[in-house]
Amino acid sequence: MKHIITIALFVICSTVFAQKPCDYSTNVTDSLGTYKSTREYMICEKNFAGTSSYIFFSLLSTDGMPTLNVQLIQKSKSFLKANCFDKNSKLFLQLNNGKIITLLHVDQENCGTMIRDDKGYDNRVITGEFMFMKDSFEQLKSSPISMMRIKYLTDTEDYVLKKEFTSELNNEIYQPETYFINTIKCIE
């Protein structure tokens, strides 16, 4: 009887605590090398006074070199300020354990693309790719994120990351605090 209870507890615990499988948008190995990219994951959503903004992360691995792809989408009928990434741009992640992780932007200037939709909204999409510093992976795997700061070409913005939220955009539940804990294994 003890063995049955032990086995049942093991099965329940392994099911409850099992890691989520990796969800790739691209996973290719060919004669040129290996490229993996996780699906975009919403980290932050703001909706206020007719203006919406969304931040998505995806992790990339190109021949074993990991990077973080950051996509910002803004939508408004009023003026949208252009934030640009340049060689001096950085992304700072403050962990719950007090440590701060710095990611450096690749040397590629990008001010995004403006698109007007059929409802009269201006939509700005800006994408940046950030490199991890040495030894930052272990910290990101072991501690949730509480805040994020993005240093643009001419501005700096801070974001408080929630433990969990339901997106108004797609009604899905996101857990930004534990994004790296759950996803970094997919590109190692």
In this model, does residue 12 exceed pLDDT 50?
no
pLDDT for 81 equals 83
Long-range contacts of 5-9 (CB under 8 A, 24+ apart): none
pLDDT for 19 equals 53
The domain ranges of the chain are 28-187
Contact between 121 and 75 (Cβ < 8 Å): yes
In this model, does residue 3 exceed pLDDT 70?
no
Instruction: Calculate the CA 156 to chain-centre distance.
Output: 18
How far is the C-alpha of 57 from the C-alpha of 32, rounded, in Å? Answer: 25
Confidence of residue 100 (pLDDT cuts 50, 70, 90): very high
- Please write the tens of the pLDDT for every residue from 135-158: 888 899 999 999 999 999 989 999
Contact between 87 and 112 (Cβ < 8 Å): no
In this model, does residue 10 exceed pLDDT 50?
no
pLDDT for 167 equals 95
What does the mean pLDDT of the chain come to?
88
- Please write the tens of the pLDDT for every residue from 33-78: 899 999 999 999 999 988 999 999 999 999 889 999 999 999 998 8
In this model, does residue 18 exceed pLDDT 80?
no
pLDDT over 70, % of the chain: 89
How far is the C-alpha of 128 from the C-alpha of 70, rounded, in Å? Answer: 5
pLDDT for 75 equals 94
In this model, does residue 172 exceed pLDDT 90?
yes
In this model, does residue 15 exceed pLDDT 90?
no
Structure tokens given for 47: 């909706």
Pairing of strands 113-116, 156-160: unpaired
